[in-house]
Structure 1
């Protein structure tokens, strides 16, 4: 499992070194003279020596070079830093041990409370009232100058438990040194209290997602959707917590449930800060360890005798890659490559320092006396043991069990085939029923239309044609009579009477014969 290396935030320290770069930390390893050549660099790195980013150097005191030779040495050093990265012990220590948590800021409006009083009061209060031992690395006065006699005290803690404990203002004493104070700002949540939720869909309601997380997990403070280098949303969500125990509990479970969906959780590893010399802008050493005579401007890249008297052109040019950005910029491709190598070395150191790797590195010598042969069986009566007999019977019955399982598997395959055929037939029947239903609806529409046609024709015959025929037949009957009222054509009169009777039956809906 990859361990986090307590990388500090950019707000805690600058990415380049200054005269006060150590902040109370000192290098305890002895520095060897830098007379070794490039062939010995890897051996020195594996042996844990304090290597430099610029491996090829010249002892200026011995050779007494002139001004041009110094420039040539510096240029050669920068060219080597572009191509061959040597991760120094200073770089790894800078990324791992320098104030891994942002400071907790206390602001006093008056008085002069010392840092020792603040530290002792805080430790005593937490131990007596809350039974908690706060681990404080450093406590110092801020260099920022305020008006009205205000001043800030910065408190740096050692571990995530202390940081999360002090995030709650209820755990602080009300006064320190008989002086009241307040918190001007809330510190940012460090990577040691953060987690990553994987595979969060981009199309979900993110507001509902965050609401459900805050409802079920009260220690979660911020929920942030991560972005790629093109500032597009990705499926990673960063979660910032205020409790180290809650964070460890979630990390041990390796999953979180949000809106009845289970998501995987991994540890959030922030990229380590890069050690950049503020004098020569080279990578991997502090300013007080720099061998360059002149100072390099981080903006324009010019080398000057005194940076205070330098008039910068404000035309940005990186001394590492020559592009238009500052030499201390973290977007420089050379700095990015150096950071990748630094991360790889830190992870390699963490893996090599694990207990398993230390055991594997030891030479184990086999000794037969430590592993004696097992004793011989006391007697052959063990074969007559009832338990052994039962075990033999079970072993003999295993082939029968295998045959039964094979038969059961064959029947199971047949049943699966039957279910498959049944589902396919059901789908066919459902399709046919849907077709019949559609045909029924079409037929029903046709019947309605035919009924309308029949009703229209029926009205036409009953209300128009039959009354008109009655009038015609009445007229014909009148013309078929003489002056005395006798029919001129008796056969015609009979037919007209028969027509009248049939039209009357048709009007009444009675059957009639021709």
Structure 2
């Protein structure tokens, strides 16, 4: 399956797939060379019928979304012996007594005591590379033939189970025959060139997929950053809205206080101050005996008190 978004929950995605396609046994999200998740998902089936039907349509629908599907072909792995650098067997299966230097291609009893010339020479094709290099044309040809053989074997099961008898071990006597047989090499030269080009194309596509995957990860991070910034902007707008409401409430309280202050000011100017003036006048008039004041300072203190109140109402210094 292609273009399965990285934000999709693979567990829920698996449940949706299995609820629609009962023959699906496993749903696996593939990873790239850096072990990062990709947008490719591999489906494994219990029976081939449903798989073949989906492949014939070339697409699959999950949760109202359509995804393009292609058959998954795992690349064949080529075994290269670490003892003799031969193809098709492990070190434990090697029948050669001496060890072969993968750099210069010379055989020796013990590689630890071998003095290598450090001149690269492949024992398979004689090329300027190490003998265990997977880019060797002979190794590529072997892998191509192995892949063709794997694809040509009919199987009624959805899982291919290779048998060891299908891939005989190449011993040291057989392998030089393959290398030195010029007719065999020339006969397969055109096929080898074609397979080499196809292999290079596959490698280029793989690198391109890695770059696209990296770009997708960067895009996801950028989208996440933008989402976080939008969340912060919304939070800031919310705080501004709250401050604005508080300011409105504060202004309303100020207006209310101004009204109360105005009332008190009117009360002082129109009620208390006139009453105090009349009281002072009355006290001054009754503070006299035979035309002389009983208390000479009383009138002065009362007049001073009245002036202080007047200055206070007018906003002047009360002292």
Would you call these one fold, judging by a TM-score over 0.5?
no
TM-score (norm 1): 0.28
**Richer in helix (by share):** 2
TM-score (norm 2): 0.41
